A and B are shown apart, each in its own frame.
Chain A
Amino acid sequence: MRAHQFMLTLAATTMLAGVASAQPIKVGLTGPYTGGSASMGVSMRDGAKLAVAEINKAGGVLGRPLLLVERDDEAKNEVGVQIAQELINKEQVVATLGFINTGVALASQRFYQEAEIPVLNNVATGSLITQQFLPPKEKANYVFRFAANDLIQSAMIVDEAITRRGFKAPAILADSTNYGQLGREDLERALGKKGVKPVAVEKFNIGDTDMTAQLLRAKEANADVVLTYGIGPELAQIANGMAKLGWKRPLIGSWTLSMATFIDNAGPNGDGASMPETFIQVPNTPKRKAFIEAYQAAYKVDRMPSPVSAAQGYDSVYVLAAAITQAKSTDGAKIRTALENLTAKVEGVVTNYDHPFTATDHESVTANMPVFGLVKGGRVVPAHDEDVAGANALRLKSK
């Protein structure tokens, strides 16, 4: 008995030592950990770190531990570009996870593409992101995504507003950045498909503190719903401005309405805002329950700052690990091939990944997967309970 126990301990120690002493597999992790989109970047990073810790505890990948090389891109395109070069040339990562901001992703991905290193884009939503390097123009596309892109989101927003909730006269309020203006175009196109013309299309700048003019124009046009494409602080000013003018209309917009900076700064004025989400902090599958509990325990928070980013960051690590295992190599081209033909089924938080990508389709999220979230009492809850109950809880990619 004693000897048996001793042998077991010895075996376990050597196994652990084996993992620890083997050369780690370096994976880049880049996002804004400071700045206006930090809540998304930090949640994404924390989700990814959680997955890496779990994988390493279970023995790593190919007998080697994963090592995240974290870099703060500050949501700045030029910093993102520098980091890409550093991760590729100096750190020699085998793949990179990250990107919260569409602009940073578009500016930085080129370097990975040229170095033939896969990029697993886990938050940025710009429609163009996975379309930059399409074969046959390029030999192969190294950019993959784990988020619901803007085409999906804008179509969902319009569907929710016009079809499901029956609004007739939408006003669009979008910020003047690339994100806001590209999103506005997508919204107008999606509305056009339903034969609806927005009664007002208004613009605001980052840092604007007064939304009176925009809201009064929407009010004068008799808008019955306000569709938004912007980020947290200005969205909060819209909600606060509505309360000030005594003109309350439902806010339906892109997933940034779930940002902590919107929820906290709008306070009670933000209640009722709704947005498409790939993951809401609700433990409706065993995997989600385990993930939420592990996240809360590891980072000592009750409300995740950005649950969507955390879940997508977490899932991207598991899918990457499965691809490296299948490729039996850390060579970029082989990992990409494995990602495009992944045979292992990966149980994730957002969904279960069964052949998530093909050579021509690098989006793991399809339009049927996100559900509508609703801000209520400082948290995001499911807007329609039937969307997250029973068989609807786990939504698989439509083929």
Chain B
Amino acid sequence: MQILAQLIVSGIAVGMIYGVIAFGYQLTFATSETLNFGQGEALMLGSLVGLTVVAVTGYWLMLPIVLAFGLLQGAVVERLGVRQAIKTKSESGWIMATIALGIIFKNMAENIWGRDALKFPSPLPETPLSFMGVNVLPMELVIVVGALGLMLAVEAFNRKSIYGKAVVATAADRDAAGLMGINTSVVITFSYALSSMTAAFAGVLVAPVTLTGASMGGVLGLKAFSVAIIGGLSSGMGVVVGGLILGITETLTGFYLSTGYKDVPGLVLLLLVLSLKPAGLFGRTAIKKV
């Protein structure tokens, strides 16, 4: 029982990491039906910039700087990689462009920070807390709380503020929103900025636990992508649940089945979701009229 609890707790911690990265995919998909395939790299850049800044400012002051950096980085991605594709209604141009930008960011990071895995200083003590025999790192609790907090803040912003309403309107119907006087291209740029901001925040949040480095975006970005598919790209709630499902299945299979097959059930789940409910567990099925 204790073991099951420990596995679930660790699974939740890993799952929230996936979930908060996947949340970034969801943000841009909602407004523009495009994704930033360099989401993992946005995470990595945020975390490495954070690592450099943290030495000067300390952990808490570093956060707003990293958030600002994320906003900027996302806007750059949209301007360079996505805008043109949306304008010409290209079905796939943005895919290659965001992948290419991701590779460029990765190479830049390799030149600036090297390719070794680096340790990110933890703002909290690294001794585990124990609840009835289940151990958890303080930083893992911060990841869960921080990720949920960030996602709630973004959702609240979208639902309550006038700017957020423009985002929601664009998500609901881009053309209609345009006719209502909403500058949809600014909204899309903004959603990319917001998406990279969450990724950058996720980067500094998870780095004390996962280590950081130019290659950290690869595996995490990919896992988060399957989470986004499982949960549904159109649902913020879906990616959280998707992340938890993937994280917990990974640790459970690793323990009860075999650590050699740890990644398999997640992928099987992905295939099942794709074949039975392609929009994802929580996604709305959109009917495309032709």
A residues contacting B by CB (< 8 A) are: 34-36, 38-39, 176, 202-210, 212-214, 216-217, 220, 232-233, 236-237, 243-246, 260-261, 264-265, 267
Contact = CB atoms under 8 A, between A and B. Distances in A.
B3 A220 contact: yes
B267 interface: no
26 contacts: A36-B116, A36-B215, A38-B116, A39-B116, A202-B259, A203-B260, A207-B215, A207-B219, A209-B14, A209-B17, A209-B209, A209-B220, A210-B14, A212-B11, A213-B7, A213-B251, A213-B253, A216-B7, A220-B3, A233-B211, A233-B213, A243-B126, A243-B128, A245-B128, A264-B119, A265-B118
B170 to A, nearest CB: 35
B259 A35 contact: no
Given A34-B110, A212-B6, A207 B115 contact: no
Given A220-B3, A237-B211, A245-B6, A213 B115 contact: no
Instruction: Give the 8 A-B CB pairs with smallest separation, nearest first.
Output: A213-B254, A207-B219, A233-B117, A212-B10, A209-B210, A213-B255, A202-B259, A203-B260
Interface of B: 3, 6-7, 10-11, 13-14, 17, 110, 114-119, 126-128, 130, 135-137, 206, 209-211, 213, 215-216, 218-220, 250-255, 258-260, 262-263
B117 A265 contact: yes
Given A209-B210, A212-B7, 11 more contacts: A204-B262, A209-B209, A210-B13, A213-B253, A243-B126, A243-B127, A244-B136, A246-B130, A261-B117, A264-B118, A265-B118
Contacts of A214: 254, 259
Given A36-B215, A212-B7, A237-B211, A204 B259 contact: yes
B259 A36 contact: no
Contact of B262 (A213, A232, A236, A267): A213
Contact of A261 (B11, B116, B220, B251): B116
A273 to B, nearest CB: 16
A236 B208 CA distance: 12
B112 to A, nearest CB: 12
A261 B117 CA distance: 6
Given A202-B259, A204-B259, A207-B219, A246 B135 contact: yes
Nearest to A244: B128
A209 B258 CA distance: 17
A205 B219 CA distance: 10
A232 B115 CA distance: 13
Q: B3, B220, B253 — which one has the most chain A CB atoms within 10 A of its CB?
A: B3
Contact of B128 (A216, A237, A246, A265): A246
Contacts of A243: 126-128
A38 B3 contact: no
B215 to A, nearest CB: 7
Contacts of A267: 119, 126
Contacts of A236: 117, 211
Nearest to B139: A244
Contact of A216 (B6, B119, B210): B6
A212 B14 CA distance: 10
